[in-house]
Amino acid sequence: MPTIVVEVMPKAELLDPQGKAIAGALARTGRGEFQVRQGKRFELTVPGDELTQELLDRVREIAADILSNSVIEDVVGVHVVGRETPAGV
């Protein structure tokens, strides 16, 4: 059963309140040198064991349509768990 990971991050130019809140918490614990951005990570699993280009393309389509909001987010990665498929998006 191939598992495909989709990674989504807020667009760089947008304010990231969650990231700011975490950076603030780090600063309060003496680790203020970090800048933090928070996004989402999805694991899509399909029964069967065949990993095809068609399957990867469908996941990319899902990533763009459903897993991310193209106005405020970017899909920054689509890769197969255990294999660094050059699944450039």
Query: d(Cα 63, Cα 47) in Å, to the nearest integer?
Result: 19
- Rounded to the nearest whole angstrom, what is the least distance from the CB of residue 51 to a second copy in the complex? 13
Q: Is 80 in the site for a second copy (CB under 8 A)?
A: no
- Residues between 20 and 79 with contacts to a second copy, criterion CB under 8 A: 22, 25-26, 29, 31, 33-47, 58, 62, 66-67
> How many residues at the interface with a second copy, by CB under 8 A?
29
**Vertex 58, ends 56 and 64: CA angle to 5°?**
105
Helix (H) or strand (E) run with residue 60 in it? helix 53-62
- Rounded to the nearest whole angstrom, what is the least distance from the CB of residue 69 to a second copy in the complex? 13
